[in-house]
A and B are shown apart, each in its own frame.
Chain A
């Protein structure tokens, strides 16, 4: 079974520029998550999709962050404009069944974003 795929692995941009990350979840997984992991901290949920609908985006800074999951498969996360505090690893995860708290999440290797 292929895992969660993310690209790019690394990205360096200057503040106020825009950036986009891509995620392809495990085939058949209904739920997709984007997390932000700042150095030395645990991952923090940014947005959760169930198929192509948003379940939870309460912690997404909507003035600069946006995400979409067209057709309920792969997803993109965008930051525009980037700030210094956005330097972090952005992790994508997916799980099989929607609405089940017991389901394990499968994580990609993440995109490490550095803002200069």
Chain B
């Protein structure tokens, strides 16, 4: 079975500061990795995904994430955040073989202060 741990439930950051949201996963088989964002009263939107190849993945809205197989991590970063980045961020994994079944972390609430 797979599991995902997001190490911070809340992250407050000042506008234009850098941010890192941490994600660790556990799986006995190879997985795909995803980051989703959820704005208030909305569904989830895909930010980026790691399938294979380069371990540094770039996504929408200036976000990027780095896959580290030895540390089983997939941390999300942005060099300079904006007020509009205030949202809940979810890390998720899916096994490579067979139909996709996403397992989500608990989420990290990112709050941007002016």
Interface size counted on chain B using CB atoms at 8 A: 27
Q: Tell me the residues in window 80-110 of chain A with beta carbons closer than 8 Å to chain B beta carbons.
A: 91, 93, 95, 98-110
With A107-B44, A109-B43 in contact, is A101–B104 under 8 Å at CB? Answer: no
Q: Closest CB-CB distance, A95 to chain B, in whole Å?
A: 6
Among residues of A, the one whose C-beta sits closest to the C-beta of B107 is A42
B-chain residues with CB within 8 Å of residue A99 when the two chains form the complex: 98-99
Among residues of A, the one whose C-beta sits closest to the C-beta of B93 is A101
Instruction: Please report the C-alpha to C-alpha distance between residue A50 and residue B98 in the assembled complex, in whole angstroms.
Output: 12
Q: Tell me the residues in window 42-69 of chain B with beta carbons closer than 8 Å to chain A beta carbons.
A: 42-46, 49, 51
A-chain residues with CB within 8 Å of residue B92 when the two chains form the complex: 42
Q: Tell me the residues in window 95-111 of chain B with beta carbons closer than 8 Å to chain A beta carbons.
A: 95-102, 104-107
Any A CB within 8 A of the CB of B94: yes
Interface centre among A4, A93, A100, A101 (most CB of B within 10 A): A101
B-chain residues with CB within 8 Å of residue A93 when the two chains form the complex: 43-44
Any B CB within 8 A of the CB of A61: no
Q: Verify B100–A31 contact, CB threshold 8 A.
A: yes
With A41-B107, A101-B96 in contact, is A108–B90 under 8 Å at CB? Answer: no
Q: Closest CB-CB distance, A113 to chain B, in whole Å?
A: 14
Among residues of B, the one whose C-beta sits closest to the C-beta of A99 is B99
Further pairs besides A40-B107, A102-B96, A107-B45: 15, Cβ < 8 Å: A41-B106, A41-B107, A42-B4, A45-B102, A48-B99, A56-B99, A91-B43, A98-B99, A100-B100, A101-B94, A104-B34, A106-B46, A107-B36, A109-B43, A110-B42
Q: Which residues of B contact A (CB under 8 A)?
A: 4, 32, 34, 36, 41-46, 49, 51, 90, 92, 94-102, 104-107
